[in-house]
Amino acid sequence: MDEQKTKSFLIKRSNSFRDLKKNNSKKKGYFEITISKDKRNPPSHKLKMHDIIYVAETSGGIYAKGKVVKTLSVDVFSTIEEVLDYSKQFKDDSYWLDKIRLFKDKLSSDSNYKLRCHQYYTNQKLLKRTIPYNGPLKEYDASIKRGLASIFFELKEKDVKYLNENPDCSLKQVKKLDPKIPGDLRLKIYSFFNQNYSIGHLIDIDHFIPKSVGGPGNIIENLVPIGLSLNRYKSDSIPRSFFEVALNDDFKTNFKVFEKEILKLLKNNEKFISKKDYPNSIDLARKMNAVVSEWKKMDEIKNFYFEVNKKFNPDYVELIYKVK
């Protein structure tokens, strides 16, 4: 086969990382859709055998790579009933419901609208390390450039060269704490645990110190993957370790003003400090997290949350830096 004719494409999917193991497949199926009055086919309809497909999470980056092993002709539909019957094979009701609603709206204004769907299949594998939208891939980052959600792209020569040679797999640098979990960090955690641990299905990733009291989401030191056989707090309760570590020698001078209140909370042996039992615990935790957020050195901030997590989940924190 003439390698010069082989093209590379990037496809983006939302919430596709929840069971990444399914992306190791010799025949992984995909489809693209267009709704229009003209004969505009889905962008994937020109795919050829052996074309390269990079699979990405909308806001996280690339996590799989494969080759096209089968491409079908475009199916054209004129009625909602036809689409309903056709869509049953994909078992993706939420996606198709949105498309059907849009198609219905279009048909109500003009009966000449058609829905076109193109199916294709790839032989693909998960990447050892996920590739965030760094370098030339920034132009595909939906968090920076609006309108780049679930879209099919033909990659440029410079993009392919970047991916084949030495892509930058590092996460975005954290300069300030934020409660939101970034897409690249969430994807990297999902990929690591899906590939290295037999957990079947990773339900979610959550804050260890709850974001409701100021716990950050953009540093891995304050995150826990739900679904592992690890201890985990319930609801918005605050792990006892948060208050204990605050009184450690390395940090106690930062929390001197809260010491008496902290000691009152620690008179029992409960692992979780709940608002129901200790009404002032939420306000105290918020004030303490606010203090931490003002520390000038990010390494010191990360170390504090690392120690808090370690005291509660020692087995998990041993893995934190392997994720990166």
pLDDT mean across residues, the chain: 89
Question: What is the pLDDT at residue 231?
Answer: 44
Q: Which tokens in the block code for residue 147?
A: 């309108």
**Phi, psi of 172, deg, nearest 5:** -65, 140
49 vs 120: CA distance, rounded Å: 10
Which position has the higher pLDDT, 156 or 205? 156
Q: Where are the domains of the chain?
A: 3-165, 183-323
pTM above threshold 0.75: yes
CA atoms within 13 A on the CB side of 316: 25
Helix locations, the chain, DSSP H: 80-87, 93-109, 157-165, 183-196, 240-246, 259-265, 281-293, 298-312, 314-317, 320-323
Least reliable range by pLDDT among 64-73, 157-166, 187-196? 187-196
Q: Which tokens in the block code for residue 309?
A: 């997590």
Mention the CATH class of domain 3-165: alpha beta
pLDDT (tens digit per residue) in 274-302: 888 888 999 999 999 999 999 999 999 99
Question: What is the pLDDT at residue 117?
Answer: 96
Helix, strand, coil shares, percent, the chain, to 5: 40, 20, 35
Residues 29 and 23 sit within 8 Å (Cβ to Cβ): no
pLDDT of 2 strictly over 50? no
Q: Which tokens in the block code for residue 80?
A: 């909602």
